[in-house]
Amino acid sequence: MLYFYNRFFVLLARRVQVLPALGIAVVFWFAGPVLASQTGFDFSVHTLASKVPGKTALIVGGIQGDEPGGFNAAALIATRYKILSGRVIVVPNLNFESIIKRSRGVYGDMNRKFDRVSKTDPERQTVSKIKSMITDPGVDFILNLHDGSGFFTPTRENNMRNPDRWGQSIIIDQALMPAQYTGLFSDLSVTAQQCAENVNAHLIEPGHTVRVKNTRTAEGDEEMAKTLTFFAMKNKKPAFGVEASKSFLTPGRVYYHLLAIESFLTKAGISFERDFSLTQNEIEKAIDKDIALTLGERRILLYAENIRNRINYLPMEKDSEVQFLVNNPLLALVHNKSDFSLYHGNRCLSHLSPQYFEYDLGIDSIEMDVDGQKKQVPFGSRILVKEQFMVHPIPDHRVNIIGYTTQDMKDEAGFFITKDDCMQRFSIDRDGQIFRIEVYRQGKFNGMVLADFRFRNKPDKIAQITKDICNVEQVFK
Ligand SMILES: [Zn+2]
């Protein structure tokens, strides 16, 4: 399976800011140069470059935090597409704080700050950073992804289908680029129309037709004159708004976003492949597939995919900043009073209840016997188990397999353990398949390994798995 982590999944996350209402333990990994994190909510930048020269697209998701179609589509481009020619730069989480807080804009509408932004505006730096990405001479065109209400139609049909609606449209500010512009997509209207037609060839239902909406911004639309796309236009960059209808659930919106994005990329000569098929069902799976985070000096790995809604007694480090790494740009850990909320975009996936320990970094791995083979397994990784595992005893250390209990057994090393020996409700996943192996020395926490039984009795799937031990930066499948 293709999983393109190696371009960007190196993240350093810090708890940077504690807001009055809720503390945010932040989260970021960066591709390329690390942008200074002032607020803890900086967006991430993912550059998907190919070896074949070509045009560069800049794709922006999440300018408004309550439009999950757009930011999930952008995150899928960042994580599950491979660019074969040309280059794609993705910002999947431009207004990340608003995404996590399910707000259109915690500090007002970010998409009205591209003409002027007040010096005291908390988003001033974010806006100025994305502006400099837009005006970068290396960028050829820009797509700004939105979810819009209802369905845009040129004439009024009813309350949900009329010229004032935005859903299912491709937005242009004017029909043509200025006369002196000689680059790609100089005829915005024709380009948008052709992309709309490409999308319309794959409608889920006929009523979902995508249409081009020309806001004629320069003719006096003061609101649109403040937007990202108009800023781009003024700087001679072709820019398109892509609006999927809020009438659909997220996978439906993402479906239309991806169709539109792919159409623009193809028209620009940027070729690509993705590792899932374009159906709502597959999109829904792809959004969550293999998402994970690591924390606690990288000694704890947690799958965010299919995680239980509460994880108890997570051994976190006493008196320490919460640091973590994620392998998906929409994952965030929010620090509440007594626990942590794990978010993917605006969905809260789980609550993590910490138990605080001092950490002992004396050992980095454990020796295990897994299905008859000896393995050295690093902390912060998972090990695939088909039938049974055993942790070799470590002098002066205690192994605790969460969900496995024997009578008064202090150290659970040295026992062969099958899935049926573990109580399902202690698994970290909802299906009762993934269990925590924790190691302690004199009351201090050493590290954790996950025993992953998900592929037990699935020899066909096991055969595709190339790595039986892997961490957050690696492929889980
Ligand atoms: Zn929007």
CA of 64 to the centre of ligand 1 (A): 5
What are the residues whose beta carbons fall under 8 Å from the beta carbon of 279, sequence distance 6 or more?
255
Cα of 245 from ligand 1 centre, angstroms: 10
CA of 246 to the centre of ligand 1 (A): 10
Separation of 226 CA from ligand 1 center, angstroms?
13
Report the alpha-carbon distance of residue 87 to residue 83 in Å, rounded.
7
pLDDT, tens only, 374-410: 999 999 999 999 999 999 999 999 999 999 987 666 8
What's the CA gap between 364 and 400, in Å, rounded? Answer: 16
Phi, psi of 51 (to 5 degrees): -85, -15
Q: What is the largest CA-CA distance in the chain?
A: 82
Domain span at 436: 290-475
Determine, yes or no, domain membership for 360.
yes
Contacts of 107-111 with C-beta under 8 Å, sequence gap 24+, read: 109/64, 110/63, 110/64, 111/63, 111/64, 111/144, 111/226, 111/227, 111/228
Together in a domain, 418 and 310 = yes
Tell whether 466 and 396 lie within a shared domain: yes
Are 170 and 255 within one domain? yes
Asked whether residue 312 is domain-assigned, the answer is yes
CA 59 to centroid of chain Cα atoms = 14
**Pair 299, 187 in one domain:** no
User: Minimal CA–CA distance to 212: which of 276, 168, 158, 147?
Assistant: 168
230 CA to centre of ligand 1 in angstroms: 14
Q: What is the pLDDT of residue 37?
A: 35
Q: Do 247 and 336 belong to one domain?
A: no
Closest CA to 353 of 397, 402, 398, 419: 402
Question: How close is the Cα of 67 to the center of ligand 1, in Å?
Answer: 6
Cα 307 to middle of ligand 1, angstroms: 30
Give the Å distance between the CA of 63 and the centre of ligand 1.
7
> Could you tell me if residue 157 is inside a domain?
yes
Say how many Å lie between the CA of residue 228 and the centre of ligand 1. Answer: 11
Ligand 1 mean position, distance from CA 335 (Å): 28
Query: Cα of 97 to ligand 1 centre, how many Å?
Result: 15
Among 239, 270, 287, where does a domain finish? 287
Number of domains in the chain: 2
71 plus 194 within the same structural domain: yes
**Does residue 129 lie in a domain region?**
yes
Contacts of 418-423 with C-beta under 8 Å, sequence gap 24+, read 418/387, 418/388, 419/385, 419/453, 419/456
In a domain, 14, yes or no: no
Asked if 93 and 44 count as a contact pair (C-beta separation under 8 A), the reply is: yes
The CATH number for 71's domain is 3.40.630.10
Same domain, 278 and 390: no
pLDDT given at position 408:
63
Domain presence at residue 16: no
Residue 60 · residue 47 · CB < 8 Å: no
Task: Report the relative pairing of strands 23-25 and 15-18 from DSSP bridges.
Answer: antiparallel
Question: Which residues have CB under 8 Å from 147's CB, separation 6+?
Answer: 66, 67, 68, 69, 70, 167, 243, 244, 245, 246, 253
Same domain assignment for residues 246 and 281: yes
What are the two backbone dihedrals, phi and then psi, of residue 440, each rounded to the nearest 5 degrees?
Answer: -130, 155
Residue stretches of the chain with pLDDT short of 50: 1-39
How high is the pLDDT of residue 462?
A: 82
- Does residue 30 sit within a domain? no
How close is the Cα of 167 to the center of ligand 1, in Å?
10
Same domain, 242 and 341: no
Provide CB contacts within 8 A for 473, sequence distance 6+: 5, 6, 9, 10, 325, 327
| Co-location of 316 and 456 in the same domain | yes
The last residue of one of the domains, among 258, 287, 316, is 287
Closest CA to 333 of 65, 6, 29: 29
Same structural domain, 261 and 322: no
145 alpha carbon to ligand 1 midpoint, in Å?
Answer: 7
How many angstroms is it from 192 CA to the middle of ligand 1?
Answer: 18
> Do both 279 and 295 map to the same domain?
no
DSSP E strand boundaries for 327-429:
331-335, 340-344, 347-357, 365-370, 373-378, 381-384, 388-391, 398-401, 417-418
Going by C-alpha positions, the residue among 314, 229, 249 that lies closest to residue 59 is 229
Residue 32 inside a domain? The answer is no
Domain end, chosen from 242, 269, 287, is at 287
Q: Which residues contact 458 (CB under 8 A, 6 or more apart)?
A: none
- Residues with beta carbon < 5 A to ion ligand 1? 64, 67, 146
